[in-house]
Amino acid sequence: MTGKPRVWVSRPTFPEIIARLDEHFAVTSEPQEVRFSPAELAARLADQDAAIVGLKEHIGAAEIAGATRLRIVANLGVGYDNLDVAALTAAGVAVSNTADVLNESVADYAWAMLLGAARRIGAAERWLRAGHWHATEFTGWLGMDVRGRTLGILGMGRIGQAIARRAVGFGMDVIYHNRSPLPASLEHACQARYVDKPQLLAASDFLVLVLPLTAQSRHAIGAPELAQMKPTAVLVNVARGGIVDDAALAAALASGGLAAAALDVFEREPQVHPALLALDNVLLSPHIASASHATRRAMTALAVDNVLALFGHGPHAGRPPTILNPTVLVAAGAVPHP
């Protein structure tokens, strides 16, 4: 039996990056994508000192009740609504995410979804593949122009700011709503202005959601909010399922209350509301906004860095770079990253 601390990696990722742990840890990596039950998670965590997990792994007090050795859960994602941070903190377990390394990739993808929905790319491709294209129609497949329209962003963190910066090239008026306005210097860099939520809903031609899923943000966009939007507007969600009431959105899209939507995330993913699947004016993708080679590698590397650092190894030794509950480090006598 090895004396090294043990790390469990819940999903296949990049072996050459995970191999950075081998010098200091006994590593167990799952060979395929699996959705674990709470009992299965508890069993896998029971004898581990660290875990690198993904958004499918929902971990709280029950899952770590027998994991007396566990010191860190490193999440492969910037969002961490899959983790009960309060419960993990109470148990003295550090939690980290992969903040910042995916900002640009997600912003790029948000724009791909926005443009795809505006120009009806998904529906047009399905129509073409089905063999319906026999002649070009001058007034067929008319979409919406982006240039000169109003882009609204709900949630103006680093990803929202990256999305806003890209709007400059399209000559768009950028408005946003956040828990609080950005500093004036950041607003200037993004060429964006703060508005309240009703103004954001009413004025946006394209509304992009980039806020975390919390108890307060669940169904931040529901039937009342959709009713405040222009019937010509497009809604884009690259944040989290649950921020949008999918049933209400499907109803608005079907009734003409909203022109189109583009969704990378869903309330009950991987299940998608059947009413959304039946609509041609919604572009759907399977939660892949950060799925570029470079970004997923960077996310894995950052999770590894956090694990190494917590155990006193690597360039961030003792100071995990993206820890979410630094009080755990203080309690353990370590120094949280500034």
Report the Cα–Cα distance between both ends of the chain, in Å, rounded. Answer: 37
Distance of CA 214 to the CA centre of its chain: 13
Q: Which residues are catalytic?
A: 240, 269, 287
Using an 8 Å Cβ cutoff, are 114 and 264 in contact? no
Torsion of CA 226, 144, 117, 176, to 10 degrees: -50
**Torsion-angle region of 256 (φ positive above 0: left; ψ -120 to 50: alpha; else: beta):** left
What DSSP letter does each residue of 261-327 carry, written as one string? Answer: EEES--TBTTB--HHHHT-SSEEE--S-TT-SHHHHHHHHHHHHHHHHHHTT-STTTTS-TTBS-TH
Per DSSP, the three-state class of 152 is strand
Q: How far is the C-alpha of 338 from the C-alpha of 322, rounded, in Å?
A: 9
Query: Could you give the 3-state DSSP secondary structure of residue 108?
Result: helix
Tokens read off for 337: 């990253």
CA pseudo-torsion sign 275, 278, 281, 284: positive
